[in-house]
Amino acid sequence: MTSTCRTFVVVLAAAAAGVLVAHPGQAQPPGSAQTRPNIVLILADDLGYGDLSGYGHPTIRTPKLDALAADGVKLTTVYAAPSCTPSRAALLTGRYPKRTGVDAVLMPDAATGLPSSEVTLARLLEGAGYDTAMIGKWHLGDRPGFLPTDHGFDEYFGLLYSNDMVPPWVQTTRPLRLVRGTRELPGDVDMHTLTERYVDEAVRIVATPRTNPLFLYLAFSMPHVPIGASPAFAGRSAGGRYGDTIEELDAGVGRLRDALRERGLDRNTLVIFTSDNGPWAEMPPRMLPLDTVRATDAGSAGPFRGSKGSTWEGGVRVPMLAAWPGRIPAGQATSAMVSTLDVFATIARAAGVGMPADRPLDSHDLLPLWSGAASSPRSDFVYFNDGRLQGIRDARWKLRATPDAADAGATIQLFDLVNDPYERFDVAASHPDVVRGLQTRLAEAARTIVRR
């Protein structure tokens, strides 16, 4: 089936099912059939809040990402899930992973993955006439039926799960292989050239002449361990070999933006950069039997407590940058609370595409915030960790209930994130009314955010 025919069939089927409709009362979206922007969504893996020079790292230099921030908006209160698979499910569906059933990290040959009933960004945009491509780490299922090409991506090149999911770190007999489309490629994966290969593929896709707008999802495998950098970057960073890895990633973003400019696409392209979760600063002993992975190969959560795998701020607060000339004023910064969940609604709005109306969504359009015309549309964020409900925050307060809010004996803590963003002081005893109010909201989340 040709691309044109495929798109017509998808649109017709969506219309017949009543899946794609505009939000009631929503203003006319900025995108139209003639002017819809290209969308480039870039996701780093295990990149910490403090790993970029623009977020305060003292030795790692990231001038290309700093330039992206200067051209648009830098966000400092952005929440993701604390681990790979749930975070990616949330990013691509705009739904808490508990709703989709993909709420824990998938291992190689897992029997499940992101259900075909979920509407991903790729499927949403494909139905609106976009060409869709993904490069990099998928981690939402590696069996037929769960692959990127099963979820709306026309093209795919990358790894189907994390780059450490081989012996000695993970007990599996399946070798780590790159995949193109649905075909596994022969040969071992070289971590030192992986970022470069991803960027080469992304640049190729951008340089390909096309009549349709493009949605490109570039999901780097780095800086998830085992890290690696190509010869042009190895030994160059003052931040050591971790810094080498980050600085090559930064340069790759620069190469991709250069490719957009060379094709004359930069003025009509929304670029979003973020991370899937905080840094893996507390790696378990199983990760350290060889020199291939060192404890110092993890990044920094900056001033925040905790790291990947936890619902402390360091595990879930991530950097985010966005630029869209003419739509997002340059040089902005905001501390308003948002989530990577909100990328779904924001991209849909930018593309002029209606949101799925047949399921609950947890995503909010951030374009008014990014343009400086409004405050954040998000009033709260609910913290899940491997399917366990562990807390909720509003504009000021964060309630933690660990190990699971469903446990009668759960430990309850309250933090004032305005005056104590580092979670040093538990003030639950002195604010019982705030605790009760947030517990009520947490109980409501437990009732409503379930698998649908």
304-346 confidence digits (pLDDT tens)? 999 999 999 999 999 999 999 999 999 999 999 999 999 999 9
Domain holding 436, by residue range, is 382-448
Q: Which of 57, 139, 151, 364 is catalytic?
A: 139
What is the SS3 assignment for 416? strand
Q: Is pLDDT at 15 greater than 90 in this prediction?
A: no
Residue 324 lies in a domain: yes
Per-residue pLDDT, averaged over 290-299, amounts to 95
How far apart are the C-alpha atoms of 177 and 179, rounded to whole Å?
6
How far apart are the C-alpha atoms of 199 and 364, rounded to whole Å?
30
Q: Do 331 and 404 fall into the same domain?
A: no
Per-residue pLDDT, averaged over 237-266, amounts to 98
Q: Do 303 and 359 fall into the same domain?
A: yes
Question: Is residue 5 annotated as a catalytic residue, yes or no?
Answer: no
For residue 223, cis peptide bond before it (omega within 30 degrees of 0): yes
Q: Do 210 and 231 fall into the same domain?
A: yes
Q: Is pLDDT at 133 greater than 50 in this prediction?
A: yes
- Give 153-212 pLDDT, tens digit per residue: 999 999 999 999 999 999 999 999 999 999 999 999 999 999 999 999 999 999 999 999
Q: Which two tokens stand for residue 253?
A: 């973003």
Per-residue pLDDT, averaged over 122-148, amounts to 97
Question: Is residue 139 annotated as a catalytic residue, yes or no?
Answer: yes
Q: Is pLDDT at 13 greater than 50 in this prediction?
A: no
Q: Do 321 and 412 fall into the same domain?
A: no
Q: Is pLDDT at 95 greater than 90 in this prediction?
A: yes
Domain boundary among 378, 405, 424: 378
Looking at the structure of the chain, the number of domains it has is 2
Residue 142 — very low, low, confident or very high, per pLDDT cuts 50/70/90?
A: very high
Q: Which of 5, 23, 57, 84 is catalytic?
A: 84
Phi, psi of 165 (to 5 degrees): -85, 60
Residue 132 lies in a domain: yes
Q: What is this structure's pTM?
A: 0.92
How far apart are the C-alpha atoms of 90 and 30, rounded to whole Å?
24
Q: Do 402 and 361 fall into the same domain?
A: no
Q: Is pLDDT at 17 greater than 60 in this prediction?
A: no
Q: Is pLDDT at 119 greater than 60 in this prediction?
A: yes
What is the pairing mode between strands 179-180 and 155-158?
antiparallel
pLDDT at 35: 83
- Give 388-422 pLDDT, tens digit per residue: 999 999 999 999 999 999 999 999 999 999 999 99
Domain boundary among 331, 362, 378: 378
Q: Is pLDDT at 19 greater than 70 in this prediction?
A: no
- Cβ neighbors of 342 (< 8 A, separation 6 or more) are 94, 363, 364, 365, 366, 377, 378
Q: Do 394 and 351 fall into the same domain?
A: no
- Cβ neighbors of 395 (< 8 A, separation 6 or more) are 337, 379, 418
| 376: number of Cβ within 10 Å | 19
pLDDT at 203: 98
